[in-house]
Amino acid sequence: MKAAMSIFSRVWRVLGMGIGAFLLWNGSAFATPILTATATTAGFGLSQFAYNFPSTGYCCGPLGIAFPGGGKVMVSDYPGNVRIFPTDTDGQDASAIAPSASYGSGNAVGLASLGGSIYMTQQSAGQVVELNSDGTYNSLIVSGLPTATGIAADAANGKLYVSDCCSGSGVYEVDPVANTKNVLRGGSYDGLTVSPGGTILYAEYNSHIIGIRLSDNATVFDSGYIAGVDGTELGYGTLAGKIFANTNFGELWQIDLANPVNQTLLVSGGTRGDFVTADPNGSLLFTQTSDIWRLTAPAGGCIGSFCGTTGSVPEPDTLPLVALGLVLVVINWRNRRSRAAL
């Protein structure tokens, strides 16, 4: 039964891709994603960050997202452009923002930030490069990575992880300082994310999300088959123990890491999705064919590696104000006690 269902799911996936491609080329597939009733009840929110990105038909439009500082947002797209959005606000028109750099089709794919630097995968060229904060080219990090696609940064050890989506050469560990690469394991992988402390690398593999323990390369998590699964990101706070996945079929899923059978559809009805990226404000930015949408976490929840830092802790310049507020509370409490005693 399980094998039969697996075959059915794969046939349905291929059929869905064909239908999606047909609708897109006929100008009618730019559907609007919507929250499911379950997501709405749980307190999630949905809004559109940016629209009108160029695409290459069914695949692909916007892909990588990074934050170069100053409230700006950097976005790469499959046609090869890198744009800098001046603010991290919703409702922006990508076509109104001129690319700061163009690298050619398939050479502006995944983005990751590490140690104040921004790195980008170039799928067609098979390499990883460092970008300047304005999206222009800085330097070559490593080459010889066939169809380099997904990229994730591990702040714990200063390494990058890069996936080969299509040729089967595997997942690579890249040292951006020494300009070296090592194969972690073979196979074709896609969207990547790293757990806190750099213990587990989560990756899309053969339409599954798997967890690879980096200390011994063992598989410690398997979501099971999820049609079209691609980008991944972890939840924190009330969303701790959850992983979020974007799919090629316009869906966004929440999967329980402790019990992967527990999968919740949060968003449906969209177009082709690829990568997802955590925003410093604790929301999740997920790509579609020609736009980027924002999933806002419910109260007490946070999504991505920013959580526990800028996502939920006061900025340094606000800490003195917090301390002053606490002092005033104590003074007010003591005055009340004194008046009560009198």
Confidence category of residue 197, pLDDT binned at 50, 70, 90: confident
> Is 75 a residue whose pLDDT tops 90?
yes
> Is 26 a residue whose pLDDT tops 50?
no
CA dist., res. 246 & res. 294, Å (int) = 12
Confidence category of residue 94, pLDDT binned at 50, 70, 90: very high
Give the residues across from 59 on adjacent strands: none
Tokens 């291929």, located at residue: 14
Nearest Cα neighbor of 193 from 182, 176, 209 is 209
Kindly state the average pLDDT of the residues 137-166. Answer: 96
Q: What is the 3-state secondary structure (H, E, C) of the chain?
A: CHHHHHHHHHHHHHHHHHHHHHHHHCCCCCCCCEECHHHHHHCCEEEEEEECCCCCCCCCCEEEEEEEECCEEEEEECCCEEEEECCCCCCEEHHHCCCCEECCCCCCCCEEEECCEEEEEECCCCEEEEECCCCCEEEEEECCCCCEEEEEEECCCCEEEEEECCCCECEEEEECCCCEEEEEECECEEEEEECHHHCEEEEEECCEEEEEECCCCEEEEECCCCCCEEEEEEEEECCCCEEEEEECCCCEEEEECCCCCCEEEEEECCCCCCCEEECCCCCEEEECCCCEEEEECCCCEEECCCCCCCCCCCCHHHHHHHHHHHHHHHHHHHHHHHHHHC
**Each residue's pLDDT tens digit, 243-254:** 999 999 999 999
Backbone angles phi, psi at 50, to 5 degrees: -155, 155
Give the residues across from 111 on adjacent strands: 120
Task: Say what the pLDDT of residue 271 is.
Answer: 94
> In the chain, pLDDT over 70 holds for what percent of residues?
81
Task: Say what the pLDDT of residue 57 is.
Answer: 72
CA dist., res. 109 & res. 21, Å (int) = 21
Fold (topology level) of 12-311: Neuraminidase (2.120.10)
**Alpha-carbon Rg for the chain in angstroms:** 21
Domain parsing of the chain, residue ranges: 12-311
Structure tokens, 124: 């067609």
CA dist., res. 146 & res. 105, Å (int) = 15
The upper half-sphere exposure of residue 243, i.e. CA atoms within 13 Å in the direction of its Cβ, equals 31
Backbone angles phi, psi at 4, to 5 degrees: -65, -40
- Global pTM reads 0.82
Task: Say what the pLDDT of residue 18 is.
Answer: 43
CA dist., res. 324 & res. 52, Å (int) = 46
**Residue 135 and residue 183 in contact, taking contact as beta carbons nearer than 8 Å:** no
**Residue 179 and residue 145 in contact, taking contact as beta carbons nearer than 8 Å:** no
Structure tokens, 240: 């701790």
Task: Say what the pLDDT of residue 321 is.
Answer: 37
The C-alpha angle 128, 98, 81, rounded to 5 degrees, equals 25
**Each residue's pLDDT tens digit, 99-128:** 999 999 999 999 999 999 999 999 999 999
Poorest-pLDDT segment among 52-66, 140-154, 308-322:
308-322
**Residue 201 and residue 209 in contact, taking contact as beta carbons nearer than 8 Å:** no
Longest dimension (CA), the chain: 82
Burial class for 328, CB neighbours closer than 10 Å (0-12, 13-18, 19+): exposed
**Each residue's pLDDT tens digit, 207-217:** 999 999 999 99
